[in-house]
Amino acid sequence: MNYWLMKSEPEECSVDDALAAKNATVPWVGVRNYQARNFMRDGMQVGDGVLFYHSSCAEPGIVGIARVASGAYPDPTQFDPTSPYHDSKSRKEDPRWLLVDVQVVEKTRNLTLPELRANPALEDLVILRKGNRLSITPVEATHWRLITRLLGTR
């Protein structure tokens, strides 16, 4: 069992949007970074824990607990010319971009970025490192336990 933090812009897909989806599950479309793709392809397993993070918004922070709900499969938006995620160089027989389904387990309060930064025990959290822009990052089990405790989940 591994743990991950996954960023989403709330204007694109908020935790509420995900909760409103069927089975509270959404396909994590739009990842266009090889390292992030490889985490989904090689690192994730169904059932892995996910911290649902809101980025590029007024109050960035962790807003929910989720789980990986599928294995990696081709992101259909790469083949859609009308999608902002369209990739004309990706070919159907050899898809460049993958996604996993993510199921929200529970919406939490917003554990904000300043709060995360204020906690010395979290200084090694990848997302807090300077210059980090990866939309999917691994989370250590100790960090997962601390964060879920701070969020007030079981």
Rounded distance, CA 61 to CA 41, Å? Answer: 25
Nearer to DNA, 47 or 59 (CB): 59
Closest distance between DNA and the C-beta of residue 85, in Å?
9
Closest CA to 54 of 117, 1, 107: 107
Nearer to DNA, 9 or 106 (CB): 9
Applying CB under 7 A, does 92 fall inside the site for DNA? no
Closest distance between DNA and the C-beta of residue 40, in Å?
14
Applying CB under 7 A, does 91 fall inside the site for DNA? no
Nearer to DNA, 46 or 117 (CB): 117
Residue of 2, 32, 74, 150 interacting with DNA (CB under 7 A): 32
DSSP for 33-100 reads -HHHHHIIIII--TT-EEEEEE-SSSS-EEEEEEEE-S--EE-GGGG-TTSTT--TT-BTTB-S-EE-
Closest CA to 29 of 94, 83, 107, 69: 83
Nearer to DNA, 11 or 16 (CB): 11
Residues 97-126 binding DNA (CB under 7 A) are: 113-114, 117
Closest distance between DNA and the C-beta of residue 41, in Å?
14
